[in-house]
Amino acid sequence: MTRIGVLALQGDVREHLAALQACDVDAVPVRRVGELNAVDGVVIPGGESTTMSRLLDVFDLYDPLSARLHDGLPAYGSCAGMIMLASRILDTRPDAKHLDALDITVRRNAFGRQTESFETDLDFTGITDRPGAEPLRAVFIRAPWVEEAGEGVEVLARIPSGPEQGRIVAVRGGRAGNVVATSFHPEVTGDHRVHQYFVDIVQGREQQ
């Protein structure tokens, strides 16, 4: 059975594990190098990106995770996970580390503070463009957005309306085209389509 790990240092770990289990894969927490080496893909959850970067060092996981990503390990990051996977981060601490797995520039807390959290329906390439598919309900909590996407990065979703219309909130790229990131938190809605999309990538059923 496909085994997908959720980086379990901080953030929405249980919610991602439950969503992955609903997609019929072996979902396991990852806190040690041995656990990382045993997975076919990894999810980096929402949380606080600067804390997460520090904990990667504390648990001696930064270098092993970076190496596996650069060797082609499929990855999905939500909210803070998007920030961690990015190549360039705006509005962050100078000592914060990132994994440089996606050629994107991300702005932290771009949509505002916790009190400015919101929900909206999105069109998501590869999910809502399938026959009979409904829009994807997306929850944004102190969310980043993608300020700039590199040439090899596919934009999967944008904010559809309002003052932030057109802002990029979901992307796919990486060296093997198997790294996905979203600004929003699909793990909290009960809609498992984003997780299934990532599972299909890990299993080689979703081609870029």
Active site residues: 79, 185, 187
What dihedral do alpha carbons 177, 42, 166, 205 form, nearest 10°? 50
Q: Three-state SS for 135?
A: coil
Q: Of the candidates 68, 67, 104, 64, which has an alpha carbon nearest to the alpha carbon of residue 84?
A: 104
Q: Of the candidates 80, 62, 100, which has an alpha carbon nearest to the alpha carbon of residue 184?
A: 80
How far does CA 140 lie from the centroid of its chain?
Answer: 13
What is the Cα–Cα distance from 179 to 153, expressed in whole angstroms? 9
What is the Cα–Cα distance from 84 to 62, expressed in whole angstroms? 11
What is the Cα–Cα distance from 108 to 23, expressed in whole angstroms? 30
Q: How many CA atoms lie within 13 A of 48 on its CB side?
A: 7
Q: Of the candidates 137, 140, 138, 149, which has an alpha carbon nearest to the alpha carbon of residue 179?
A: 149
What is the Cα–Cα distance from 30 to 199, expressed in whole angstroms? 17
